[in-house]
Structure 1
Amino acid sequence: MSVAPDLSSFRPIGELLREQAAAHPHQPALVQDGERLSWGALDALMDRVAASLQRDGVRPGEVIALCAATSVLQAAIFLGALRAGVVVAPLAASVTPESFASMVRDAAPRRLFVDAQAVPLLRPGEHPALVSLDGLAPGQAFGEWLAPEGSRPEPVRIAPEDAFNIIYSSGTTGTPKGIVQPHGMRFSHIQRGLAYGWTPESVALVSTPLYSNTTLVVFFPALAFGGTVHLMAKFDAGRWLEIAERERVTHAMLVPVQYRRLLSHPDFGARDLSAFRMKFSTSAPFDAALKAEALRRWPGGLVEFYGMTEGGGTCLLEAHLHPDKLHTVGRPAAGHDIRLIDDAGREVAPGEAGEVVGRSPGMMSGYHGQPEKTREAEWYSPEGLRFIRTGDIGRFDADGFLVLSDRKKDMIISGGFNIYPSDLEAQLREHLAVHEVAVVGVPSLEWGETPVAFVERRAGDPTSAAELREWLNARVGKTQRLADLRFVDELPRSAIGKVLKRELREGYGPPAIPSR
């Protein structure tokens, strides 16, 4: 069962981690490949990072940015900055130089910590003071920048409403938005961990980037409860299974595509994963059949989080407790208020579909420097309460479980009819030829929009694109029929596994000929 967050007991994460270090200083805190940083060493390094920032005049509430591969050092810098009350903006290196420059301008960091991964994005004279983590990127070497051993920062007071980090969304293309998450929001994530077996004996395996909120909702609770976190700079299914077995991993956050790759790996059945207590998933639609396979073949519980980096409301599906609800994303978490509204902003009647909006102790302060975008993301209830809009369409079933239809922006309006891509994707996944699929709406001269499918075909399957399209069109309504179906080697994805439907739409070409 989920635990309702209580911000009256708020404690800054730097303080929580210092207590864990005092309790078990020799236990490993962060591990990557052959590098193992004990809790005592992590606490000391966090102090040196915090003291270095204070020496440089970086005040609480000001920002530093990180653009580097996942590493023990990157994690320690993130945590040390938080101890000084400094806001951290972790930036993806998988963006264009233009998007990177936009994020840096928006965050206005006092220091930018980089490694070789960031080099292609850097433009001379356009960035704040650089600190190089690996000697391959420009800037002052980290070892030279770091305060001497034994350095301690001046204590700072941190309140729940103070900014914790800025997470940038939609940074692969387009203009990124900086989501400001306060300390209270992160603390609510930590409190939620009480229900999921986190202890000082926990071992978490992190295989998604530290700039992703997906990663951080498990990374911080794992450390706050005194566990050990194993870091992977790049996900590889075979190596992940090897680490999970060897290190007796108990917890992991994985996106759905990672579940699919792990469960289909030839070594999966031979690995001992019996130490697992809990597995988590978020960030992308999690197919009900895939959830069922994970429950059947993988020890430990399975929890799906439905929510946004912006926060608002979260739904939890404790799949191991509700195996008959795998087609849903669960019920609102304790202390979370989830409602459904129509296009006019009115709450819909029970059983009807509407846009999902949510309110909870875990909510973004707003989009950094973009008050108008913040207002667009907000909905106020008749009682005057602030909610965050998700852009998702859903309905509650009779038991209070949320069933999603689709993203509002992904919904296809064809000849005045609403078409939900997820319905067509679910139907296509029933064909043995389909390994993975994405359906998008593309321009149509006759209907305005029309659906097109992009399919990763299973190896060795002889089905042609035309045959698969005809198979699907014979099973759906006339308005839902695909105008086109294309095989692709691999669907474009973000670093955390989300299918980049915008890239599919933009790369399609001229308007499609509808199939009706």
Structure 2
Amino acid sequence: MSANAASPITLESPFTTLPELIAQHGRDRSEQTALIQDDRRVTYGELDRLANRVAASLQRDGLEPGDSIAICSSNSINYAILFVGALRAGVIVAPLAPSSTPESLLIMLKDSAAKLFFVDQHTDRELSGVQERITQPLFTLDDSRPVEGFSEWLTDAAPKPVTLSPEMPFNIIYSSGTTGEPKGIVQSHGMRWSHIQRGLAFGYGANCVTLMSTPLYSNTTLVSFLPTLGLGGTLVLMSKFDAKKYLELAAEHHATHSMLVPVQYQRIMAREDFDQYDLSSFQMKFSTSAPFHAELKADILQRWPGGLLEFYGMTEGGGSCMLAAHAHPDKLATVGKPLDGHDMRVIDEEGNELPRGEIGEVVGHSVAMMTAYLNKPEKTAEAEWYDSTGKRFIRTGDVGRFDEDGFLTLMDRRKDMIISGGFNIYPSDLEAELRKHPDLQEVTVIGVQSRSWGETPVGYAVLKPGATTAAEDILQWFNERVGKTQRLNRLILTDELPRSAIGKVLKRELRDSFQATHGELD
């Protein structure tokens, strides 16, 4: 079916695409607002026409279905328009993290085989030292280079219809854009269609207003972005998160839905003026991507109207869990149960399946699995596990256990688990205890090399505003509360913890920094 097909689309259809749905919204509710950012508003009729212009411009430039473009920019209305228009042309979108180093961006550009590269002024400036190594034509979404700007690039021609199928690639999302080797995760139109369909159960629809403050290069954002537009709602975009601005926008636009990562919830709830904002319009809030502590969930349930859903899963797909925190206040320390149709299990180091209650690596299977890591068959094979029937699962790299009710409790990433003197130490256990200190705002624990123990735990913490407690006093307080094998070797106070744009603490950065400064401990 082409993007301009006139027949009605239903959500019971075996397969439909986001461009088709937006074309239908453009016909049925052309004056309804689709996108809001600052003072700019775009209706569904305008979004449909602009998406056509994008598709036609890509076709004019020689791109065919299966080709790709790369985008590296903060959130913007033009970003959303470009994304939808590219999909309408059958073009794969590779959204890249602006926080990536120039060298990482060059690697991802080459790996994705992008034919065109779209940036904003910030990314353009960051790439100034490697411009001569960028082989793709470059355009600025914010028109910061007028001659090579988005507005000049758009044609007024109509696009040629393109038929999309479920197995065709939708996007390439890179899993390690800030450090390490970037791995391109290929996801299909069929997988994204399932995300749109699932949105109905969470209240997305023509009357929803979604406040989006996480970056569009993240799968975290797309699982909220897609059902909002696919089901005809209104999307309010923030180019950069700020807790006060978020609350102001939520109250102004009567937001009903929002996807936030835990550190954003933490900063919002910590505001002394939180209770002054009218958030009564909220129907459902979501969270994913990083550990979400039970105490914070409880505070949100008490003071922020609407339900709270936590998703656990990977960009690579596989199984996902969901915790309806408002329905299970006694399970806030878990990430919930597997979604319908998702098969999740726990395996040991040898790949043997473990029973409930046993701790091991979490693996998952669902229809929402990546096709592969782009151009990396070895990495793809490492990420897969097959059961005795040959059923394919994705390895999460997370350690956890299922309780007697089928709820999953996560311990840590396998690579973050500390083996000290032959004992397995889970940083999450230590962090939960350290977080109880009344003067600490944020904490994390890493394992560092030790001559005596192989590894030993080291804590990092951020003091609450106005607190003056010394690191030595906090260390003594902590070590008196835990067993001998769990004691911290030292505690380091810092102004902030290094985090990715979606809120994950970058433990590898802390380990590398500690090693460079302190070397191997006794």
TM-score bucket (shorter structure): over 0.9
Structure 1 residue 246 displacement after superposition = 0.8
Secondary structure (helix, strand or coil) at the match of 1:144 reads helix
Query: SS at the partner of 1:9?
Result: coil
Aligned to 2:103: 98
Deviation (angstroms), 1:366: 0.8
Q: For residues 288-316 of structure 1, what are the alpha-carbon distances to aligned partners after superposition, in whole Å with 9 as ceiling and x for unaligned? A: 00000000000000000000000100000
- What is the TM-score of this pair, normalised by structure 2? 0.95
Quick check: 2:143–2:151 contact (8 Å CA) kept in 1?
A: no
Q: Which runs of 5+ in 1 are unaligned?
A: 1-5
Q: Deviations over 1:442-477 (max 9, x none)?
A: 111111110000000112223211111111111111
Partner of 1:225: 231
Kept in 2, the 8 Å contact 1:412–1:419? The answer is yes
Q: Which residue of 2 aligns with 1:123?
A: 131
Q: Which amino acid aligns with 2:49?
A: A
Is the aligned partner of 1:109 residue 2:117?
no
User: 2:47 maps to what in 1?
Assistant: 42
Contact 1:104 1:127 in 2 (8 A): no
CA contact (8 A) 1:114 1:137 kept: no
Shift of 1:126: 2.5
Map 1:202-351 to 2 at 5 A. 202-351=208-357
Q: Equivalences for 1:317-396 in 2 at 5 Å? A: 317-396=323-402
> What is the alpha-carbon distance in structure 2 between the residues aligned to residue 350 and residue 233 of structure 1?
43
Contact 2:96 2:177 in 1 (8 A): no
Distance 1:284 1:92 in 2: 17
Whole-angstrom distance in 1 between the partners of 2:421 and 2:507: 21
Q: Is the Cα–Cα contact under 8 Å of residues 361 and 414 in structure 2 kept in the other structure?
A: yes
Could you tell me which residue of structure 2 aligns to residue 507 of structure 1? 513
Match in the other structure for 2:4: none
Q: Deviations over 1:334-376 (max 9, x none)?
A: 1100011111111012321110000111111111111110111
| 2:56 aligned residue | 51
d(CA) in 2 for partners of 1:399 and 1:342?
21
SS at match of 1:497: coil
TM-score by length of 1: 0.96
The answer to whether the Cα contact below 8 Å between 1:113 and 1:132 also exists between their aligned partners in 2 is yes
Q: Which amino acid aligns with 2:350?
A: A
Is 2:466 aligned against 1:496?
no
Q: Deviations over 1:363-397 (max 9, x none)?
A: 11111111110111011111111110000011111
Which residue is equivalent to 1:73?
78
Match of 1:156 among 162, 165, 173: 162
Query: In the alignment, does 2:153 pair up with 1:145?
Result: yes
Mapped contact 1:132–1:139 kept (Cα < 8 A): no
Name the amino acid aligned to 1:232.
Answer: M
**1:270-328 deviation per Cα after TM superposition (whole angstroms, max 9, x unaligned):** 00100000000000000000000000000000000000000100000000111100000
User: Aligned equivalents of 2:28 and 2:111: distance in 1?
Assistant: 39
The corresponding residue for 1:439 is: 445
Q: Letter of the aligned partner of 2:167 in structure 1?
A: E
AA partner of residue 372 (structure 1):
E
Q: How does 1:396-407 map to 2 (within 5 A)?
A: 396-407=402-413
Query: What displacement does 1:132 show?
Result: 2.2
Aligned to 1:3: none
**SS of match in other structure, 1:30:** strand
Amino acid of the structure 2 residue aligned with 1:42: L
| Equivalent residue, structure 1, for 2:6 | none
Distance 1:146 1:198 in 2: 31
* 1:417-432 correspondence runs (5 A): 417-432=423-438
Q: Corresponding residue for 2:29? A: 24
| 8 Å CA contact retained: 2:449, 2:521 | no
Q: What is the alpha-carbon distance in structure 2 between the residues aligned to residue 260 and residue 266 of structure 1?
A: 12
Q: 2 CA distance for matches of 1:267 and 1:134? A: 34
Aligned partners of 2:141 and 2:149 also within 8 Å: yes
CA RMSD of superposed structures (Å): 1.3
Aligned to 1:110, the other structure's residue is in SS state strand
Q: Tell me, what secondary structure is at the counterpart of 2:177?
A: coil
Q: State how far apart, in whole Å, the 1-side matches of 2:357 and 2:212 are.
A: 38
Q: Could you list the runs of 5+ residues in structure 2 that have no partner in the other structure?
A: 1-10
Partner of 1:471: 477
8 A Cα contact 1:130 1:138, kept in partner:
no
Q: Does structure 2 conserve the Cα–Cα contact (< 8 Å) formed by 1:429 and 1:435? A: yes
Q: In 2, Cα distance between the equivalents of 1:196 and 1:417?
A: 42
In the TM superposition, residue 134 of structure 1 has moved relative to its aligned partner by 2.8
Change over 3 Å in CA distance of 1:423–1:7 after alignment to 2: farther
Query: CA–CA distance in 1 between the matches of 2:392 and 2:499?
Result: 32
Bigger Cα displacement from structure 2, 460-469 vs 280-289: 460-469
Match of 1:415 in 2: 421
Q: Which amino acid aligns with 1:461?
A: A
Q: Deviations over 1:139-197 (max 9, x none)?
A: 7222222111xx32211111111100001111111211111111111111111111111
Q: Helix, strand or coil: the match of 1:95? A: coil
Instruction: Work out the CA distance in 2 between the residues paired with 1:342 and 1:137.
Output: 54
One-letter amino acid matched to 2:51: M
> What is the CA-CA distance between 1:8 and the residue it aligns to?
6.6
| Cα 1:484–1:192 shift into 2, 3 Å | same
Q: Which of the residues 89, 96, 105 maps onto 2:94?
A: 89
Distance 1:198 1:483 in 2: 48
Using the alignment, how far apart are the partners of 1:163 and 1:436 within structure 2?
Answer: 39
Matches of 1:460 and 1:140 in 2, distance apart? 49
* Alpha-carbon separation, structure 1, partners of 2:472 and 2:271: 30
- Answer with 183-192 or 392-401: which moved more: 183-192
Residues 353 and 393, structure 1, Cα contact 8 Å, conserved in 2: yes
- AA aligned to 1:421 is P
**Counterparts of 2:145 and 2:335, CA distance in 1:** 42
User: Which moved further from structure 2: 12-21 or 220-229?
Assistant: 12-21
- Give the 3-state SS of the residue equivalent to 1:273 in structure 2: coil
Kindly report structure 1 stretches of 4+ aligned residues shifted beyond 4 Å: none
**How many residues matched?**
507
Aligned residue type for 2:383 = A
CA–CA distance in structure 2, aligned partners of residues 479 and 281 of structure 1: 33
C-alpha contact (below 8 Å) 2:441/2:462 kept by paired residues = yes
User: What's the CA shift string for 1:41-75, capped at 9, x where partnerless?
Assistant: 00000000011111111011110011112100011
Do the aligned partners of 1:336 and 1:358 also contact (CA within 8 Å) in 2?
A: yes
**Partner SS state of residue 124, structure 1:** helix
The reply on whether 1:180 has 2:180 as its aligned counterpart is no
Instruction: Work out whether residues 203 and 229 of structure 1, in 8 Å CA contact, stay in contact via their aligned partners in 2.
Output: yes
Matched residue of 1:404: which SS? strand
SS in 1 for 2:267: helix
User: How many angstroms does 1:85 deviate by?
Assistant: 0.8
Displacement after TM superposition at 1:136 (Å)? 2.7
Alpha-carbon distance in structure 1 between the residues aligned to 2:473 and 2:197? 51
